[in-house]
Amino acid sequence: MTRSPHPAGADAAGALETLGRSSGPASLILSSLADGPKHGYALTKDIESFAGVRLAPGTLYEALSRLEAQGMIEALESRDRRRPYQLTATGAAALSTYLQAQRKVADVGLDRLAVNWTLA
């Protein structure tokens, strides 16, 4: 029997966690690409608009190369020397599971704040 080291599903989210210091930028990049293919500068601007975070170029490409090596994104044909990237099925699965886990944490935190704290 052949065993895949990272079967689909639960392990796909784990794969995002294995990116270590890049897991933050990775989730932002995957979220941006969920909207459609983008090149480096378009990713930077999109992430800045929805997350208020500007990824530095080195950090962005470090995360892009790791995501590509993990099979979560793939490079498309280069246009005007700018290469767009698009989300893969693996990346979509990993992002979905990762964000659901994040949402669960956010829901618990917000519920507890609502019960115990009055915020202006």
Partner 1 sequence: MTAASDRARVGRLLAWYPPGWRARYGEEFAELLLDELGERPWTWRRTADVAACGLRARLAGAGLAGHPIDPAAAARAALATIACSAAAFGLTGAAMWSQLAIGLQWSVPRASGLTQALDLMTAAMAILVTAAVLAAVPLAWSAVATAVRGQGRPLLRPALLTGASALFLIVGGRHFQNGWPGTGGHLLAHQGLVPGGVAAFFWATTMWVTSYWAHPAMLAAFPAARLAWMALSPAAAMALVTGAATLMRRAEISPRALRYERLVANLAGAGMAVFAAGALCWLLSAGPGTRTLFRAGAIDRAGLAVLALAGLASLAAARHARPRPTPSGSATPAGPASAPKAVA
Nearest to 76 by CA among 91, 68, 86: 86
Q: How far apart are CA 119 and CA 34, in angstroms?
A: 33
Residues 96-115 that bind partner 1 (CB under 8 A): 96
Instruction: Quote the CA–CA distance of 79 and 39 in Å, as a whole number.
Output: 9
Residue 58 is a binding residue for partner 1 (CB under 8 A): yes
Q: Look up residue 89 and give its two tokens.
A: 């099925």
Contact string 60-99 vs partner 1 (x = CB under 8 A): xxx-xxx--xxxx-----x-xxxx---xxxxxxxx-x---
Residue numbers of the site for partner 1 (CB under 8 A)? Answer: 4-9, 11-12, 15, 19-20, 22, 39-41, 44, 56-62, 64-66, 69-72, 78, 80-83, 87-94, 96
